[in-house]
């Protein structure tokens, strides 16, 4: 895959994530690294598509590691997405960009691409 394609698919993925998480004031996704360390963005993506799975208010009160574990467990249980990431590897100053993109791509493939705007 060329750099141009890579950048394009990253742009699409990032805009999908930003659109998906827009209603969540605590979440502001700017990249595929530091925006994900507190676990809120992963949970917001899941919650926006499947709000009946869990309470957002509960997630906000969790620690970053708990939030990441929560999101990865829910995605595995309800969407069949393998836990490609360890919470301990994401809750760091600079998590691995490729790993996060790979995981988000899995979510992107199973969740609706179009989010209804309220």
- One digit per residue, the tens of pLDDT, for the chain of length 118 reads 455 666 888 999 999 999 999 999 999 999 999 999 999 999 999 999 999 999 999 999 999 999 999 999 999 999 999 998 999 999 999 999 999 999 999 999 999 776 554 4
Q: What percent of the residues of the chain are helix, what percent strand, and what percent coil, each to the nearest 5? A: 60, 0, 40
pLDDT reported for residue 3: 56
E strand segments, 1-118: none
DSSP H or E stretch at residue 6: helix 3-21
């Amino acid at each position: 895959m060329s750099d141009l394609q890579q950048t394009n698919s990253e742009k699409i993925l990032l805009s999908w994530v930003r659109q998906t998480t827009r209603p969540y004031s605590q979440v502001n996704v700017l990249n595929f690294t530091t925006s994900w360390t507190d676990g809120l963005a992963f949970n917001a993506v899941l919650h926006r598509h499947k709000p009946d799975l869990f309470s957002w208010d509960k997630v906000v009160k969790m620690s970053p590691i708990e939030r990441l574990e929560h999101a990865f467990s829910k995605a595995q249980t309800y969407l069949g997405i393998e836990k490609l990431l360890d919470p301990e590897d994401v809750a760091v100053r600079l998590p691995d960009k490729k790993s996060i993109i790979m995981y988000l791509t899995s979510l992107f493939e199973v969740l609706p691409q179009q989010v209804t705007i309220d």
